[in-house]
Structure 1
Amino acid sequence: MVTRPAPPLRYSIADDLRARIITGRLKPDERLPSEAQLAAQYRVSTPTLRNALAVLQGEGLIEKVHGKGNFVRRRLHQVTYVGGGHMAIDRDAARSTLRVTVRMTKMRARGGLASLLKVPLHSPLSELLCVGYEGDSPHSLIRFYIPRDLTPVNVRAEMPCWASVEATLAEARPALADTHEEVAARLPTRSEAAALRISTALAILTISRVSTDITGRVAEAAHLVLPGDRASALFTTHRMTPERPARR
């Protein structure tokens, strides 16, 4: 008879905590005991306990808030990217809980950015770092890179939704004519994981977008990051059907 080895302790701990979350013994937004307390409770080392928490972070069940601890994550609604910079969230989401924070920084075009925006090196640009939130939990991240003269003057530090961000950007530029989008899946960088409060082991959906206005000028480049546990992309193609000749 072959005896199977016991699973690593981190999975046993993760199974127990997962069961407590699913059954409601640990409720959404509830703070977990400290890592030292949990390690003592399960009689394991702190690194082993952190590995167990990383499993649950990767599943989107808990999130680590810097300086505050680990919290049970409230179920976030699904975010759907529908192309052209537009994002939709589940219809049953409470609209009052949605918001986008915006931080604008002045910078100069270097290397890849200069090539992407088709501007000379050191041209003045603006970077808009936008983080979408549902309640207090981040669900999406976008960095916009815009020629300085196309930067809107009325950028607010917080907006109610992504549509407000797009409308604000549109006020300062000619109408867009073409948008090229590239979609990929990968693991997040440490800074992306920290901004979205996710594990570095959770896959993300990334969309790189370059938009050209009706004059042929690149009006903006954008980089979108969406956590894989709550995001999808939907693209619809409208095809023209040839007209049939009229019957005589």
Structure 2
Amino acid sequence: MVTRPTPPLPYAIADDLRARIITGRLQVDERLPSEAQLAAHYRVSTPTLRNALAVLQGEGLIEKIQGKGNFVRRRLHQVTYVGGGHMAIDRDVARATLRVKVRITKTLARGGLSSLLKVPLHSPLTELLCVGYEGDSPHSLIRFYVPRDLAPVNPRAELSCWGSVEATLAEARPALADTQETVNARLPTRSEAATLRISTALAILAITRVSTDITGRVAEAAHLVLPGDRSNALFTTHRMTTERPAQR
């Protein structure tokens, strides 16, 4: 008789909670018992219980809202980054549920920002912190860094889509001529995880974008962060074709 190995405690707990979510015993938007209550119920330490919750967060089944607790999450819609700062979401999502919150602060070019924007250290910059939401759930995070003289004067604090953010930035600078993007996967910082309500163990899609305007000046640099459980990147290459001369 072959016996199956017992899964480690965090995965066993995650299996039980997952089954309760899938079968409807735990409903969408329902708050889970507190971590202390769950740890006592499963007779494990709090760190072990948190490891189990991290598994479910990584699967997109629950989300932790700071100061409120862990909640069963609604079905996650896929976010597709198509390049050039443009993002698309599943077609069945009502446009009315999508919005972008913008926070604007003044900062200085330090470290990597100085290199990205090709400006001297401590040059004045404007940072636009933009968080995209589907309903009340965050799905994407972008930090735009713009030379202060190219920054929009009075952008709105909440916009309907990323296109509105791009249009607002375009009003204050010359047209863009070139954009370079670097894509990599990594773990989120604690700040990024808290903003996107994801586990620090969930990989993210991180994109660094640098845009140059028609005068040759770097007009903006952006850091994009997309949760790995519901995002992908799509890049399309258009190739020029020439007709071969007809053979005689």
Whether these two folds match at TM > 0.5 is: yes
Partner residue of 2:116?
A: 116
Conserved in 1, the CA contact under 8 Å of 2:138 and 2:197?
Answer: yes
Q: Tell me how far apart the structure 1 counterparts of residues 152 and 182 of structure 2 sit (CA, whole Å).
A: 26
Q: CA deviation at 1:45?
A: 2.3
Q: Tell me how far apart the structure 2 counterparts of residues 205 and 247 of structure 1 sit (CA, whole Å).
A: 49
Partner residue of 1:62?
A: 62
Partner residue of 1:91?
A: 91
SS of 1:206's equivalent? Answer: strand
Partner residue of 2:146?
A: 146
> What is the RMSD of the two structures over their aligned residues, measured on CA atoms?
1.6
Matched to 1:199, the amino acid is S
Q: CA deviation at 1:3?
A: 5.5
Q: CA deviation at 1:47?
A: 2.1
Conserved in 2, the CA contact under 8 Å of 1:210 and 1:221?
Answer: yes
Q: Tell me how far apart the structure 1 counterparts of residues 167 and 227 of structure 2 sit (CA, whole Å).
A: 24
Conserved in 1, the CA contact under 8 Å of 2:60 and 2:76?
Answer: no
Q: Tell me how far apart the structure 1 counterparts of residues 15 and 235 of structure 2 sit (CA, whole Å).
A: 37
Matched to 2:85, the amino acid is G
Partner residue of 1:223?
A: 223
Gaps of 5+ in 2: none
Q: CA deviation at 1:75?
A: 1.2
Partner residue of 1:107?
A: 107
Conserved in 2, the CA contact under 8 Å of 1:58 and 1:198?
Answer: yes
TM-score w.r.t. length of structure 2:
0.95
How do 1:20-99 residues align onto structure 2 when only pairs under 5 Å count?
20-99=20-99
Q: Tell me how far apart the structure 1 counterparts of residues 148 and 110 of structure 2 sit (CA, whole Å).
A: 14
Q: CA deviation at 1:5?
A: 4.3
CA offset digits 1:57-92 (Å, max 9, x no partner): 111111111100000111121000000110000110
Matched to 2:124, the amino acid is P
Q: CA deviation at 1:4?
A: 5.3
Q: CA deviation at 1:167?
A: 0.9
Q: CA deviation at 1:244?
A: 3.7
SS of 2:202's equivalent? Answer: coil
Q: Tell me how far apart the structure 2 counterparts of residues 111 and 161 of structure 1 sit (CA, whole Å).
A: 31
Q: Tell me how far apart the structure 1 counterparts of residues 96 and 222 of structure 2 sit (CA, whole Å).
A: 26
Partner residue of 2:12?
A: 12
Partner residue of 2:199?
A: 199
SS of 1:237's equivalent? Answer: coil
| Aligned-residue identity in percent | 87
Q: CA deviation at 1:43?
A: 2.3
Matched to 1:242, the amino acid is T
Q: Tell me how far apart the structure 1 counterparts of residues 231 and 196 of structure 2 sit (CA, whole Å).
A: 13
Matched to 1:69, the amino acid is G
Q: Tell me how far apart the structure 1 counterparts of residues 236 and 56 of structure 2 sit (CA, whole Å).
A: 34
Q: Tell me how far apart the structure 1 counterparts of residues 88 and 2 of structure 2 sit (CA, whole Å).
A: 52
CA offset digits 1:149-172 (Å, max 9, x no partner): 110113111111111111111111
Partner residue of 2:174?
A: 174
Q: How many residues align?
A: 248
Partner residue of 1:137?
A: 137
Partner residue of 1:161?
A: 161
